[in-house]
Amino acid sequence: MQFMIQMYLFMLRRIPEVEKSAGPRDRLVHVVHFFKDNQHIQYYGVPFFFLIREGEALSDIKVRIQKKFEVPDEQFLKWKFAYVAYNRPDYLQDSDIVLSRFQQKNIYGPWEQSLGLEHSDMPTKRANQNRHSFEKP
């Protein structure tokens, strides 16, 4: 007799007001924290979903993310934003319309593409010890 074990991860969260007013072409995008270690991406922290509106430029998204994490300006200036697919970052410019990157059809699931937040303000030692938590910088 064979047993099949399936594991599911459920995350409960309160729906922010901004998401309740999402338009038909707006989209919740998977967001991850990462840093580069010898040219390889190392993820850490807790991934989250973030609403991106149709036609919204990265510069506008950055303002909302900085507010969400309450990151001081001098620290936030060091953060880089990237479209990440198949563990490869494609760095974004402030003028880029972010949602246009998430329109690709050959993606298997929502975890295959993410908005990546590259910042190394978290010490590497702590990142390697506990990859499943994120403290506000």
Residues 46-65: what's their mean pLDDT?
A: 94
Written as six digits, the tokens of 135 are 């403290």
17 pLDDT more than 90: no
Q: Predicted confidence band at 121 (pLDDT cuts at 50, 70, 90)?
A: low
Domains, the chain, with CATH or none: 25-129 (3.10.20.90)
Written as six digits, the tokens of 114 are 């993410």
- d(CA 56, CA 73) in angstroms, rounded, equals 21
Residues 72-85 have pLDDT tens digits of 999 999 999 999 98
In the numeric block, the tokens 């295959």 are attached to 112
Residues 113-118: what's their mean pLDDT?
A: 94
134 pLDDT more than 60: no
Residues 116-122: what's their mean pLDDT?
A: 82
Q: What is the pTM of this model?
A: 0.75
Burial degree of 103 (CB within 10 A; 0-12, 13-18, 19+): exposed
